[in-house]
Amino acid sequence: MSDIAKVDKKTFDYLMEEPPERWARSCSPRRRYDMLTTNIVESMNSVLLEARELPILRMMDFIQVKLQRWFYERRNEAEGTFYDVSCWVEEELKKKIDLAFTLNVFPVDSWRSRVEEEGITFLVDLNKRTCDCFQFQFDELPCIHAIAAIEKRNIKKSNFCSDWYLKESWLKTYERQIHPVGHTDSWIVPDSVKSQIIKPPDFKVPPGRRKKKRHISATDSSKITFKCGRCRRIGHNRTSCIYSPAVHPFSRKHRE
C-alpha cells in the first residue's frame, strides 16, 4: 500500500475507505481474474471493421469464414506443440525460472518447502498447491517460490498447473469444426421456419450523419495531447490559457 501512496495519494485514500474484499484478490471470497481488459472486444471490433457496411447476411458470412479459419489454425497449433501446457504458459514458466534460481530453498518434507526471497520467508506446499504469496493459488500456476521448490525436487512443472492450462484443454477448445453454410439452394429449411414472417424492427432514423466511431469509456486513456499555441505548454489550448501575457515572448511580434 505504501507503493500505491507514493504513486497516487488520492487512489490510496480511496482504497483505504473501501473494504478490501472489493478491490484485493487476496481478500475476495470468490476467485477473480488478475486483470480486467476489453482486449478481446477491441480485437473483434478491429477485425470486423471492414464488414460493418455489408448487408447483414454478407456480414454473417464474413464472421463465419473468419471463425472457421481461426479454429483451424489454432487447432493445428495446439496439435503441433510438444509441451504439456499451452505455449503461453510455457513462456510464462520460463520467465519465472531465472528468478527462481536466485531463491534459497529449504525442504521440510516431500511436498513442503521454506523458500527465502530477499530475507522474506514463504512456505510452499506443492501437494495443496499453495504459497504464502497467494499467487500460486490465485493464478493456479506455479509462482517463483513454487518453481524453486519444484526444481529442487526435479519434478515436471506442468504437474502443478491447472487443467485449464494443459494441452488437452487447449485442444478441446478448438476440437469442434465450424462447417460452411453452403449455397442457399442446398439449404433444408423446415416448413415451420418458412411460414414465419419476420419484419424489420421499428427504428426511427435520427437526423444527421450516423456515428461510426465507438463511445470512449472512462477507463480508456486519451491519446490526444493538447499544446497551447500561446505559452507552448502541454495540457490546454489557447482558449483556456492562463499563462499568456499581453505580449508573449514566443509570439511573432516579440521575436521581430
Residue 115, strand partner residues? 105, 122
Residue 124, pLDDT > 70, answer yes
Lowest mean pLDDT among 57-61, 77-81, 127-131, 196-200: 196-200
Banded pLDDT at 6 (limits 50, 70, 90): confident
Question: Which alpha helices (DSSP H) does 175-248 contain, by range?
Answer: 191-194
**What's the mean pLDDT when you consider all of the chain?**
82
Distance CA 84, CA 178 (A): 26
Percentage, residues of the chain above pLDDT 90: 29
pLDDT in tens, 51-89: 888 888 889 899 999 999 999 999 999 999 888 998 889
Domain ranges, ordered by start, for the chain = 87-170, 226-256
Three-state DSSP at 112 gives: strand
Residue 24, pLDDT > 80, answer no
pLDDT in tens, 219-240: 555 556 777 877 878 877 777 7
Distance CA 185, CA 130 (A): 59
Question: What does the block give as the cell for 142?
Answer: 506455479
- The H or E element containing residue 57 is helix 56-80
CB atoms within 10 A of CB 173: 14
Distance CA 148, CA 241 (A): 57
* Predicted local distance difference test score (pLDDT) of residue 68: 92
pTM of the model: 0.63
Distance CA 160, CA 168 (A): 15
Bigger pLDDT: 221 vs 212: 212
* Predicted local distance difference test score (pLDDT) of residue 129: 92
Contacts of 74 (CB under 8 A, 6+ apart): 173, 174
Q: How many residues does the chain have?
A: 256
Handedness of CA 47, 42, 92, 162 (dihedral sign): negative
Closest CA to 150 of 174, 126, 114, 178: 126
Three-state DSSP at 135 gives: helix
Three-state DSSP at 209 gives: coil
Amino acid in the structure at residue 155 = I
Bigger pLDDT: 10 vs 29: 10
> How far is CA 204 from each of CA 199, 200, 201, 207, rounded to the nearest angstrom?
15, 12, 10, 9
pLDDT in tens, 93-102: 999 998 899 9
Residue 46, pLDDT > 80, answer yes
Bigger pLDDT: 188 vs 214: 188
Banded pLDDT at 144 (limits 50, 70, 90): very high
* Predicted local distance difference test score (pLDDT) of residue 161: 92
Question: What does the block give as the cell for 26?
Answer: 487476496
Banded pLDDT at 10 (limits 50, 70, 90): confident
Lowest mean pLDDT among 11-15, 148-152, 183-187, 224-228: 224-228
